[in-house]
Amino acid sequence: MKIRVPATSANIGPGFDSVGLAVTLYLEIDVIKESKEWYIEHDLKGVPNDATNLLISTALQIEPNLRPHYLKMTSSIPLARGLGSSSSVIVAGIELANQLGNLNLSIDEKLNLATKIEGHPDNVAPALLGNLVISQYCNERVQYIKTDFPETALLAYIPNYELKTSDSRQVLPQSLDYKEAVLASSTANVVVAALMSGNIVLAGKAIEQDQFHQPYRLKLVKEFNTVRDLSKASGAYGIYLSGAGPTLMILIEKSKVDQLKTKIEQLNLNGDLEILDIDKKGVQVV
């Protein structure tokens, strides 16, 4: 059995802790065989191989009586880069428990469990459901809408350094004054409406007007101004900080993405570039 979970790009401007998109990088878990003890084979530095691994601990949190298995983990999702690496593992762990324990969990049950573990649904919802998901977590229940993302190419600039979510949250303000909150909320409303109506041009503009987190976090990503200026000069619809960063996600017409990728590569920045598409399926079990 193989469990496959997509990466996610969350927040999407002012959609803070609420709006996320599944993209075509993947975590894959192969369930090899039963064993005396839990063991997970992988090549991720600093990540445990035993039952303390987040994948296994999540599964055992859902169903403590699972029989131990030998597993193999492979991932193209970079760690601590704002692409939902931990959320993908949580979703995979819940699905592992669901399959090995024959739990027959519903989508809503999986989503509520994942959100309770993660703390907010913006990454786990698209990882589970695929596509674009707008969600809210209130009274320990998730309300969500899954919809199509407008036609666009996604170009991710992924710096070669980590940015932990906890560190990225420390730069955020404790509060906004009333006028700032109204402006930030109205901008988020326009982003969601533009995305759901397929207006990528308006969505791109409004995404860059976020007041909730990007103005505070972008100082942690030294390449932002350089990448933004070149992207906008090349016709990008918009650029935003993916998750807590440091990945920058560029929205651009598909006919222009290869040329922009080449231009950014020529800057010789300390990072990688990935042309991504939208994953529309979410978690899959083979």
* pLDDT, tens only, 144-155: 999 999 999 999
What is the rounded average pLDDT of the residues 121-133?
Answer: 98
DSSP designation for 84: -
Whether 257 has a pLDDT exceeding 90, the answer reads yes
Whether 44 has a pLDDT exceeding 90, the answer reads no
Can you give the pLDDT at residue 168?
87
Q: Are residues 240 and 167 in the same domain?
A: yes
d(CA 60, CA 57): 5
**Residue 79 known to bind ligand:** yes
Tokens 């899954």 found at: 146
**Residue 87 known to bind ligand:** yes
Q: Check which CATH number belongs to the domain holding 23 and give it.
A: 3.30.230.10
**Residue 80 known to bind ligand:** yes
Can you give the pLDDT at residue 46?
83
**Residue 88 known to bind ligand:** yes
Q: Are residues 169 and 71 in the same domain?
A: no
Q: Are residues 168 and 250 in the same domain?
A: yes
pLDDT in tens, 128-168: 999 999 999 998 899 999 999 999 999 999 999 988 878 88
Q: Check which CATH number belongs to the domain holding 221 and give it.
A: 3.30.70.890
**Residue 175 known to bind ligand:** no
d(CA 13, CA 41): 36
**Residue 85 known to bind ligand:** yes
Longest dimension (CA), the chain: 60
Q: Are residues 55 and 191 in the same domain?
A: no
State the average pLDDT for the chain: 96
Can you give the pLDDT at residue 247?
96
**Residue 244 known to bind ligand:** no
Q: Are residues 8 and 90 in the same domain?
A: yes
Can you give the pLDDT at residue 165?
79
Q: Are residues 174 and 143 in the same domain?
A: no
Can you give the pLDDT at residue 164?
81
Whether 73 has a pLDDT exceeding 90, the answer reads yes
What is the rounded average pLDDT of the residues 38-59?
Answer: 94
**Residue 217 known to bind ligand:** no
List the domain range (segments joined by +) for residue 172.
153-276
Can you give the pLDDT at residue 93?
98
Q: Are residues 12 and 134 in the same domain?
A: yes
What is the rounded average pLDDT of the residues 253-268?
Answer: 97
Q: Are residues 198 and 248 in the same domain?
A: yes
Q: Are residues 91 and 180 in the same domain?
A: no
Q: Are residues 211 and 140 in the same domain?
A: no
What is the rounded average pLDDT of the residues 13-42?
Answer: 96
- Output 264-270 pairs: Cβ under 8 A, ≥24 positions apart: 264/155, 264/157, 264/227, 264/230, 264/231, 267/226, 267/230, 269/157, 269/159, 269/223, 269/226, 269/227, 270/159, 270/160, 270/161, 270/223
Instruction: Identify each DSSP E strand in 76-203 by its residue range.
Output: 132-138, 141-147, 153-159
Structurally, the chain folds into a number of domains equal to: 2
Q: Are residues 224 and 263 in the same domain?
A: yes
**Residue 67 known to bind ligand:** no
Q: Are residues 130 and 18 in the same domain?
A: yes
d(CA 250, CA 150): 14
Q: Are 210 and 14 in contact (CB under 8 A)?
A: yes
What is the rounded average pLDDT of the residues 207-236?
Answer: 94
β-pairing verdict for 141-147 and 132-138: antiparallel
